[in-house]
Amino acid sequence: MFSYKDPELWNDENIYDETQAPWFYHINNLLDLNKEDLINIKNIIDNDKKRGVIYNSILDVIDFQTYYGIMRKINSNMNSALSVYLFSCKYFLKKYSKEPDTDGRVKFVFIFGNNTSDLDSVCSSIIYSFFLYIWYSLKGKIDKGSEDNTLMFFVPVINIKRSDMRLKILEKWWLERCEIKNPEEILVFNDNEHLLNVLKYDYKYYICLVDFNNFEANNIYNGDNVKSIIDHHVYKGTGENHRITKSIYPICVCSCMVIISYLYKHSSDFLGVPFVNKSILWLMYGAILKDSNNFIKRDLGKRWIQSDLDIFMSLKKNFKISNKMDIYITYLFNTIRFSIDLKTFGIENVLFSDYKDYNYFVSEKKIKIRVSSIDFSIDFLFSHENSDQLVEKMYNLCYENDFSMFILIGSYLNNYKLQKDVSIVFYKNDVDRDDLMNTLLVNEEIKLSKKGYKSIKFGDNIQNFDIYQIVTKLFYIITI
């Protein structure tokens, strides 16, 4: 799992067949860097070292400090390497989005996260785009004087509307802790006018998918322009374009960021120069820490695997991060999660904080299900004074999206113990309620027990809700 493969042994066979491609396949497909190019870049760095040049980071190799200085003259509010890079992405997108480019001299590579835009998705799209930018800059070392002087820009796209970023309280908080201030201003969202303008012209862009791999018919981009996928979910394999490099590890890998972290590690191993600096580190660290829930031992093989822990410990060791920091940040993550004021936040907005849609075919019928994970107990939500707004929104979403079921899964703290409960809306009759609930109630892994019952009136309708406790092994949220 995630073993290092040396590009010097690469045999140039079909790079699109593997769903768990070696790290260098992506930069071959997106940047047209072949085996000889990679070796030439390595030789340049090795020769510099022999002459006494000291490279503390890959950013020294690509002279990012010069780029940093140029962009800081345009906007001096950006301080970290990543914030400057993200500002430049948005700056050049605006600059080149409307200019005629009949010669194809400008190409955008848009890195889309999933439409939940959770912490893993947001951080992964940023870090993967920076990975591609680094290798594009390295390519410039061997392309000097080349006739191919195409400008490429690697732009992470937060796959929600800009106005919806206000709902991403945890994500905003962590980005700002990582010195990416005012994320609504610096990041590109899927309703950005300059993005949408570029997406009108297929020849102007490529697409990369991180933290998801399904090709929806209503996407704002052409699916044939997808060039790479980095994901830790089961591969749907429904894309029309088969010329895609894929690193997909759906085997309990806790975070998409784990896969991207290995891309950085293997690149560093090959060139002999560190690829991760402190600016990059904290986004990697936070995404993996949160999705692993600080690597609780009993979750091994369920929520995380040894490869996840290995790369996480490698990051910690290189940057001297203590176990106390892991506990402290986990505590802060949970404090942020469970301290939302529903009156100011809007109770119906909890439905959009973290959700997944699933499609199943049962007896030749397509069953669509939405599952929303919520950082409150379902019992508490249905007892809230605005619970009618929540239920009405659920029903509207079912109607608009043709959902058969809407499942709410609540997570909440009770005396610093994490507990979970669940309730299900059966919107359509294509799923037998009694059969499903009887099956779930006897399932030994889920272990449901009846918790309560709520009857909620919204408009002229009344909906009855059964609430079930998910009887899992409880664990303590440690405070220090």
Alpha-carbon gap, residue 244 to 253, rounded angstroms: 21
SS (H, E, C) the chain: CCCCCCHHHCCCCCCCCCCECCHHHHHHHHHCCCHHHHHHHHHHHHHHHHCCCCCCCHHHHCCHHHHHHHHHHHCCCCCCHHHHHHHHHHHHHHHHHCCCCCCCCEEEEEEECCCCCCHHHHHHHHHHHHHHHHHHHHHCCCCCCCCCCCEEEEEEEECCCHHHHHHCHHHHHHHHHCCCCCHHHHCEECCCHHHHHHCCCHHHEEEEEECCCCCCCCCCCCHHHEEEEEECCCCCCCCCCCCCEEEECCCCCCCHHHHHHHHHHHHHHHHCCCCCCHHHHHHHHHHHHHHHCCCCHHHECCCECHHHHHHHHHHHHHCCCCHHHHHHHHHHHHHHHCCCCHHHHCHHHHHHCCEEEEEEEECCEEEEEEEEEECCCHHHHHHCCCHHHHHHHHHHHHHHHCCCEEEEEEEEEECCEEEEEEEEEECCCCCCHHHHHHHHHCCCCCCEEEEEEEEEEECCEEEEEEEEEECCCCCECCCC
Whether residues 251 and 162 share a domain: the answer is yes
Question: What are the tokens at 475?
Answer: 């664990």
Whether residues 293 and 375 share a domain: the answer is no
pLDDT for position 479: 32
Alpha-carbon gap, residue 225 to 206, rounded angstroms: 5
Alpha-carbon gap, residue 172 to 163, rounded angstroms: 13
Whether residues 272 and 379 share a domain: the answer is no
**475 part of a folded domain:** no
Q: Domain limits at 195? A: 7-334
Q: How do 355-362 and 365-374 pair as beta strands?
A: antiparallel
Residue 478 clears pLDDT 80, i.e. is over it: no
Whether residues 324 and 367 share a domain: the answer is no
Q: Helix 323-337 and helix 278-292: axis angle, to 10°?
A: 70
**84 part of a folded domain:** yes
- Tell me phi and psi for residue 131, to 5 degrees: -60, -45
Whether residues 246 and 168 share a domain: the answer is yes
**1 part of a folded domain:** no
Question: For 228-245, how does the pLDDT look when each residue is reduced to its tens digit (9 = 90+)?
Answer: 999 999 888 766 678 899
**476 part of a folded domain:** no
Split at pLDDT 50, 70, 90, the class of 159 is: very high
Entry field: residues in the chain: 480
Q: What is the CATH number of the domain that holds 364?
A: 3.10.310.20
Question: What are the tokens at 187?
Answer: 């990041």
Residue 14 clears pLDDT 80, i.e. is over it: no
Split at pLDDT 50, 70, 90, the class of 100 is: low
Alpha-carbon gap, residue 312 to 276, rounded angstroms: 13
**480 part of a folded domain:** no
Whether residues 208 and 351 share a domain: the answer is no
Dihedral sign from CA coordinates of 338, 343, 345, 347 = positive
Place of tokens 């409960």: 421
Alpha-carbon gap, residue 284 to 119, rounded angstroms: 10
The pLDDT > 90 percentage for the chain reads: 60
Among candidate residues 296, 315, 334, the one where a domain is terminated: 334
Comparing 205 with 148, which gets the higher pLDDT? 205
Whether residues 193 and 167 share a domain: the answer is yes
Least confident of 119-128, 179-188, 359-368: 359-368
Question: For 185-209, how does the pLDDT look when each residue is reduced to its tens digit (9 = 90+)?
Answer: 999 999 999 999 999 999 999 999 9
pLDDT for position 87: 96
Q: What is the CATH number of the domain that holds 139?
A: 3.90.1640.10
Residue 151 clears pLDDT 60, i.e. is over it: yes
Whether residues 297 and 399 share a domain: the answer is no
Q: What is the mean pLDDT of residues 91-111?
A: 85
Triad 202, 204, 206: Cα angle to 5°:
75
pLDDT for position 340: 82
CA distances from 273 to 6, 55, 132, 267 (A): 15, 7, 16, 8
Alpha-carbon gap, residue 83 to 68, rounded angstroms: 10
Residue 480 clears pLDDT 90, i.e. is over it: no
Whether residues 128 and 257 share a domain: the answer is yes
Among candidate residues 285, 304, 334, the one where a domain is terminated: 334
**479 part of a folded domain:** no
**405 part of a folded domain:** yes
**304 part of a folded domain:** yes
Alpha-carbon gap, residue 117 to 353, rounded angstroms: 9
Whether residues 34 and 122 share a domain: the answer is yes
pLDDT for position 12: 65
Among candidate residues 316, 334, 352, the one where a domain is terminated: 334
pLDDT for position 148: 63
Question: What are the tokens at 241?
Answer: 């374009």
Query: Which burial class, exposed, middle or buried, applies to 349 when counting CB atoms under 10 A from its CB (0-12, 13-18, 19+)?
Result: middle
Question: What are the tokens at 138?
Answer: 């390295």
360 bridge partner residues: 367
pLDDT for position 448: 87
Question: For 340-381, how does the pLDDT look when each residue is reduced to its tens digit (9 = 90+)?
Answer: 888 778 888 888 888 888 888 777 788 999 999 988 899 888
Alpha-carbon gap, residue 223 to 319, rounded angstroms: 39
Whether residues 125 and 270 share a domain: the answer is yes
For the chain, how many structural domains are there in total? 2
Question: For 379-398, how does the pLDDT look when each residue is reduced to its tens digit (9 = 90+)?
Answer: 888 888 888 999 999 999 99
Mean of the per-residue pLDDT values for the chain? 89
Whether residues 198 and 326 share a domain: the answer is yes
Split at pLDDT 50, 70, 90, the class of 146 is: low
Which residues have CB under 8 Å from 321's CB, separation 6+? 285, 315
Which residues have CB under 8 Å from 325's CB, separation 6+? none
Place of tokens 């100011």: 344
Place of tokens 């085997």: 251
Alpha-carbon gap, residue 69 to 201, rounded angstroms: 32
- Tell me phi and psi for residue 384, to 5 degrees: -70, 150
